[in-house]
């Protein structure tokens, strides 16, 4: 599933296959896959929930203030965004089996 340039609230879910959402404005954004990678790329700050049961999760956000929560049972966590507990936008990225990455870009 691929979505590019969407605005407003976005809710994407796949049982089998990747979820890729790019050049997003607005929010909140939810991207979930039972078996596949999840990639979310924001053009404007917004809250993001991105998760996969079996696959990598990548969230790319512009500069801004975010509360960041990540979790993976079997994989690496790479967070290159400073978490601000007072931020209005939240990034919640998780994978049961896969890498989780949150960065500016």
Q: What is the pTM of this model?
A: 0.96
Exposed (0-12), middle (13-18) or buried (19+): which is 86, by Cβ within 10 Å?
Answer: exposed
Task: State the CB neighbour count (10 A cutoff) for residue 47.
Answer: 18
Instruction: Give the contacts of 36 (CB within 8 A, at least 6 positions apart).
Output: 14, 16, 17, 18, 19, 52, 54, 55
Q: Whose structure tokens read 């993001």?
A: 48
Of all residues in the chain, what percent carry a pLDDT higher than 90? Answer: 98
Task: Look at the chain and report how many structural domains it folds into.
Answer: 1
Look at residue 105 and tell me whether its pLDDT is greater than 80: no
Mean pLDDT of 28-52: 98
Domain holding 55, by residue range, is: 2-104
pLDDT band at 41 (very low <50, low <70, confident <90, very high): very high
């Amino acid at each position: 599933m691929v979505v590019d340039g969407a605005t407003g609230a976005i809710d994407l879910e796949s049982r089998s296959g990747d979820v890729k959402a790019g050049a997003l404005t607005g929010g909140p954004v939810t991207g979930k896959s039972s078996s596949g990678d999840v990639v979310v790329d924001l053009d404007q700050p917004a809250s993001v929930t991105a998760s996969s049961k079996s696959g990598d999760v990548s969230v790319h956000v512009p500069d801004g203030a975010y509360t960041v929560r990540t979790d993976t049972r079997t994989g690496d966590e790479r967070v290159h965004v400073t978490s601000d507990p007072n931020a209005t936008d939240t990034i919640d990225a998780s994978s049961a089996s896969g890498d989780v990455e949150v960065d500016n870009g």
